[in-house]
Structure 1
């Protein structure tokens, strides 16, 4: 199969012969304008051409009923807008329809040069489509115009409230979604749900309605959606149509002042905005051929997310999971959420075995550590050893696992960019990714450049290194771009190999947790079976209500026999964290401070490496509590959750 790759307006599109217009375009007239009809993936589609297109080709996308109330569309055509439509009728905005919409959007933007932002127009049940697609793609929507829109399918066609509904359409909807009636009633992604991302983008919405509509009652549709959207900060307008005959129990009504609604669309769609291209920030390299084969052939795949708080928090991770499930509905996915706040590449290298690889065969691994590696002041060599160790460790368990390295944004890195420097953390991620042919995404640089291009601001839009809903959408859209590009590599047939020569012979590719029960305790140490703080200071899940080794007095000693090239401890560092003295075998004692800049507010999970380049043989770690302590500490405590060994 031959593939064509097109880059226009910052959007990557992969077209096989199956994703192109499958028949010759048929030209005819539509209200004196030229109509172009064709099929895309076998689905009838069309667009209407203005006599004189505006620069940038702004356009309106109609959902359902493309020939109903054409006054506004005709005005926009006269002004230079295109009007487009794809026939996904009777699919009620279901994920299957959204995949077709994605293809249609990419075709028109990439192959036909339409504007990257589109005005969506939804009439009646068309509301299910425009809100479903807009919530998945807020950056691609200029505004939403809706006439008497369905905003909750339980109302129509379900008929579970004031509307009498439509039994035939309700049954059809259940079949399209694959729902039982109980599942449909519990569905939590109606148009009026999950509007946070759309509101963060300030996408303007306009509903024109009739107050007498009993088919799609406003109390169950427009009014709750508008109220929620306003509370989230989304700009809204509602106009009630009261002039002229209102038919079909108020659901059909004449459109007053269509030129006003054309003005609304034009105001928010023109001049055309051209966002930066995703391409410079995404390195596809060997792509994602193996997980694609697993998804499409075996119909069963496991995807893991390994990272810090940006991976732990809901947002881009859940959007990626949803996208994979919707794009491949016949595949059974298992998603492993392995994000732990505050942890970077060093902790990931030692916990990947327990938290990810022990769960079974991993087909796709998302890995991020660049933010916490900077914040935690992890040195460059340790970063390289840890990142490469994770890659090699994962490939020992599955030689063809696909891995994506992600470099998230934080203000500290922006200072490097302003000085023309590449942050060390990003350079290390890219070095490992390039060596092993792995896809990577420089989201830090992308966010910085988009801010510099005045697409948005850090202060008011992205807001924090823990991204706002707006920032989560930025991350997701770029990751989605990478997934679509990476899946193309299934044609290349390349498979990553675990035999690639290492960048660094000291990588932590056999990093693991050593149970605390293997230590020999001297005086002053005790095993606490179910540790929890007595000082009321906060904790992190997984690092409380569990066994820990604890010492609180100077001079407490323990030893640990281990085999390997590296050794360390995973601790909780709270207000009373002290200092330890350690030596390997018969070497000299060295001192290490266990306090962090956050220890006064939290018993923080913290990973400390004592040695990372030992001879690969049996060793003994000697550990004792020091009599000295950090001036900020309230005590001389050490609480060990795991020992670390490579």
Structure 2
């Protein structure tokens, strides 16, 4: 489901209008061209206009020293490029500067019609800016040109290596970043760090240097960055300037063949490529007013990530956390990472109390289950009951918690799209989100559409349902777009979900774990205080080296008294997982296979629901090991980590 067109346009125009209202432009000559100067949010900015702009308005963004070595810029202006600059001097690429850069980019692209991809130009300390912003926005960068760039501020201005550094600038840097000396030395996101996303986008980089540069030594800056970038698959070129006088200990040098470098930028920036927009894939609905107030007024917010392996693995989740910290530096954030591989909506509904809500008041919850719900063959009704239950349970913890439902991509869903169908899992996410007015993001459809538009391929770029760094960037950029839209419209009043009538009264809003100690064990069952497999088959964290109930022989029995409308169990399903027979109260026995398609390779956490629509009262679960087993199983075992009840 997508934004209506009028809704999308509102956010684009609203953003541009707010920025435009602050801008009063002054035009003056600049090297035979026109320079347009203005202030954006009070910060001096400018762009130089070509006499005849190229179609699509390609542009170059200078990070620093906008009037230094203008030969290449002049050539590009003659060819139809704009040259832009905003004064974030003396901020050394710090997060504050990056937020300003985001605003400047948004203004030039939205209000002035500049190309969605920009060529970055970083001179000396400008390297801190161009790489800092490019790593945060690889999809917005066509290429990077850098002259003698600083690629590690410990080298300059720190002077902690072979260069002499600059003590005054170093102290200024510490103040801008809010670092102690040791924190600066330990900082792990220099330009040369965390380049995987940029490399995955194949953003070409070109460094022009002097081999005699003693102020920003190449061995501490350009050479290690280029080596790392190339090892990650990024295209990189280094050209050493050797003709003409070199001053400032080799850091200043004349630029040879400026037309070559203009060719480099033009080759990678023109014709202008316009990728699909992010906004059609998000539904803002009632927005994010509650978490925005917690962030901006209380200066304290807890953000939780609940999902499967796509949430468990590093990538988009860490980028979202970092974005929030940089966007709101005065706010104390607590992040709860509650991703467990292989688990979908049903397990989340029963574990949300222990794994998320028990840790305090949640202000924002990111929830994903669409991939594993398809893989695990969770039926549609159970999906709805589970997803709605998580939303309502979370809002019982904090009536004003905001929830974002996310629908990640996998090839199975692409088959539905090709047939013109909405995948059931996505439809259920959207149904719950629409009922409660919650934001949602259809990332599955976005990836499918971008592949269809030939922006990238699944095989060589996205690569897997556990995305490559490239895919993680796709996810993050759309999530960030939704968050920004939500924060811009945060003047709405939030509506507690628990005050809204449920879609399904049998939803799992009181889903919980029931401890294994509550079971009455009959013959054949035992409690293992710290279970680990004897067959050397792999396990998952949290489901090994812990207490479990175990039975390995047919006929083993136990009973569990519980109260609620649903009952099940969380087990470990390995190669020897057997079959169980169960009944509720005095009903007939039914059989359940505990094997999964992955059980031969892993003792897998697995959640089984015996009944989901019981009268909400006291019941008794009777469980026994069956004499039969799946032909693929090597035994007749059952290992219970928790019981489930609603």
TM-score range, shorter chain: over 0.9
1:9 touches 1:277 (CA, 8 Å); kept in 2? no
Deviation at 1:46, TM superposition (A): 0.2
Q: In structure 1, how many angstroms separate the alpha carbons of the residues matched to 2:491 and 2:450?
A: 32
For 2:529, the equivalent position in structure 1 comes to 529
Name the structure 2 match of 1:352.
Answer: 352
Match of 2:418 in 1: 418
Q: Distance in 1 between matches of 2:16 and 2:157?
A: 37
Deviation at 1:9, TM superposition (A): 11
TM superposition shift of 1:23: 4.4
Cα distance in 1 for partners of 2:506, 2:136 equals 43
- The alpha-carbon deviation at position 498 of structure 1 amounts to 1.5
Other-structure match for 1:109:
109
Cα drift, residue 14 of structure 1: 5.1
| Deviation sequence 1:446-472 (CA, Å, 0-9, x none) | 000000000000000000000000000
- Determine helix, strand or coil for the equivalent of 1:322: helix
Residue in 1 that maps onto 2:444: 444
Q: Secondary structure at the match of 2:498?
A: coil
Contact 2:524/2:552 (CA < 8 Å) preserved in 1?
yes
Q: What secondary structure does 2:538 align onto?
A: coil
**2:117–2:140 contact (8 Å) kept in structure 1:** yes
The residue that corresponds to 1:320 in the other structure is 320
When residues 286 and 9 of structure 1 are mapped into structure 2, their CA distance, relative to the original with a 3 A threshold, is closer
Q: 2 CA distance for matches of 1:176 and 1:284?
A: 34
Q: CA contact under 8 A between 1:570 and 1:606: conserved in structure 2? A: yes
Indicate if the aligned counterparts of 1:162 and 1:217 stay in contact, CA closer than 8 A: yes
The answer on whether the counterparts of 1:437 and 1:496 sit within 8 Å (CA) in structure 2 is: no
Question: How do 1:446-595 and structure 2 match up within 5 A?
Answer: 446-595=446-595
Q: Which residue of 1 aligns with 2:139?
A: 139
- Within a 5 Å distance, the mapping from 1:253-264 to structure 2 comes to 253-264=253-264
Distance 1:161 1:7, change over 3 A: farther
Could you tell me how far 1:496 is from its partner in structure 2?
Answer: 3.3
Number of the residue aligned with 1:388: 388
Q: Distance in 1 between matches of 2:81 and 2:387?
A: 50
Root-mean-square deviation (CA, aligned residues, Å) is: 1.4
* Cα deviation digits, residues 217-241 of structure 1 (max 9, x gap): 0000000000000000000010000
Cα offset, 1:489, TM superposition: 2.9
By how many angstroms is 1:271 displaced? 0.4
Secondary structure at the counterpart of residue 202 of structure 2:
coil
Match of 1:33 in 2: 33
How far off is 1:22 after superposition? Answer: 2.5
Equivalent residues in 2 for 1:221-236 (5 A)? 221-236=221-236
Tell me the distance in 1 between the aligned counterparts of 2:242 and 2:623.
81
Per the alignment, in what secondary structure is the counterpart of residue 460 of structure 2?
A: helix
| 8 Å CA contact 1:148, 1:251 repeated in 2 | yes
The residue correspondences of 1:92-491 to structure 2 (distance < 5 A) are 92-491=92-491
Q: 1:611 maps to what in 2?
A: 611
The 4+ residue runs of structure 1 with deviation greater than 2 A are 5-23, 492-497
The 8 Å contact of residues 10 and 276 in structure 1, kept in 2 or not, is answered as no
Contact map agreement 1:163 1:217 (CA 8 A) in 2: yes
3-state SS, counterpart of residue 491 of structure 1: coil
Comparing 375-384 with 19-28, which one deviates more in the overlay? 19-28
Cα distance between partner residues in 2 of 1:230 and 1:9: 40
Q: Deviations over 1:429-487 (max 9, x none)?
A: 00000000000000000000000000000000000000000000000000000000111
Deviations 1:589-634 (A, max 9, x none): 0000000000000000000000000000000000000000000000
For 1:11 and 1:198, locate their aligned partners in 2 and report how far apart those are by CA, in whole Å. Answer: 28
Asked if the contact 1:10/1:277 (under 8 Å) is kept, the reply is no
Deviation at 1:492, TM superposition (A): 2.2
Residue by residue over 1:130-173, the C-alpha shift from the partner in whole angstroms, topping out at 9 and shown as x without a partner, is 00000000000000000000000000000001110000000000
Q: Distance in 1 between matches of 2:244 and 2:489?
A: 58
Distance 1:180 1:16 in 2: 38
For structure 1, list consecutive stretches of 5 or more residues without a partner in the other structure. none
Q: 1:624 aligns to what SS in structure 2?
A: strand
Distance 1:234 1:13 in 2: 35
Secondary structure of 1:561's counterpart equals: strand
SS of the aligned residue for 1:560 comes to strand
Aligned residue for 1:15?
15
Query: Deviations 1:306-326 (Å, cap 9, x if unpaired)?
Result: 000000000000000000000
- Please give the alpha-carbon distance, in whole angstroms, between the structure 2 residues aligned to 1:493 and 1:303: 20
State the distance in 1 between where 2:407 and 2:501 align: 24
Distance 1:199 1:14, change over 3 A: farther
SS at match of 2:607: strand
Between stretches 14-23 and 368-377, larger displacement belongs to 14-23
Per-residue Cα deviation, 1:509-546 (whole angstroms, up to 9, x for no partner): 10000000000000000000000000000000000000
State the distance in 2 between where 1:93 and 1:279 align.
28
Q: Secondary structure at the match of 2:251?
A: coil
**1:415: Cα distance to partner?**
0.4
Provide the C-alpha distance between the structure 2 equivalents of 1:580 and 1:74, rounded to a whole number of angstroms: 77
TM-superposition CA deviations, 1:251-281 (whole Å, max 9, x none)? 0000000000000000000000101121221
Shift of 1:300: 0.4
TM-score relative to the length of structure 1: 0.98
TM-score (norm. length: structure 2): 0.98
- Provide the secondary structure at the position in 2 that maps to 1:192: coil
Structure 2's unaligned 5+ residue stretches are: none
Q: Deviations over 1:279-308 (max 9, x none)?
A: 221000000000000000000000000000
Instruction: Tell me if structure 1 keeps the 8 A contact 2:11–2:485.
Output: no
Distance in 1 (CA, whole Å) between partners of 2:114 and 2:19 is 17
Instruction: Measure, in 2, the Cα distance between the counterparts of 1:154 and 1:132.
Output: 15
Report the equivalent of 1:643: 643
1:495 Cα deviation after fit: 3.0
What secondary structure is seen at the aligned counterpart in 2 of 1:490?
Answer: coil
| Partner secondary structure for residue 85 of structure 2 | strand
